[in-house]
Structure 1
Amino acid sequence: MKKALFKVMVKINNAILPSLYKKDPNHLSTWQKALLGYRYWVLTNALD
């Protein structure tokens, strides 16, 4: 159940949130770093 929820969240993230691919994390703003952390957290929970 939990894994299925995170997989749905990953699909929603990919459709709605901006991609930060090929951007240097050191040059991101604070909200972009938070967004990157959130996307990473959701992805790792979906893969476990």
Structure 2
Amino acid sequence: MKKRFFKLLAKLNKLLLPSFSKRQLDIAKAKKWQLAIIGWRAYVTKNALD
């Protein structure tokens, strides 16, 4: 149940949130909100794969 929820959330993230890797964003120069999105996407991805 939990894994299915995170897989759905990962698909929504892919559709709705920007991809900073495609924009070649430098993590050292990223703003706080960009770091928050990167962290959120990493958290969801980690839980979707478990």
Question: What's the Cα RMSD here?
Answer: 0.6
CA deviations over 1:3-28 (Å, ceiling 9, x no partner): 00000000000000000103211111
After TM superposition, what 4+ stretches of structure 1 lie above 4 angstroms from structure 2? none
Aligned to 1:19: 19
Q: Tell me the SS of whatever aligns to 1:15.
A: helix
Matched, 1:42 2:50: no
Q: Percent identity, aligned pairs only? A: 44
TM-score for the superposition, normalised by structure 1: 0.94
Q: Tell me, which stretches of 5 or more residues in structure 1 are unaligned?
A: none
Count of residue pairs brought into register by the alignment? 48
TM-score for the superposition, normalised by structure 2: 0.91
Q: Tell me the SS of whatever aligns to 1:40.
A: helix
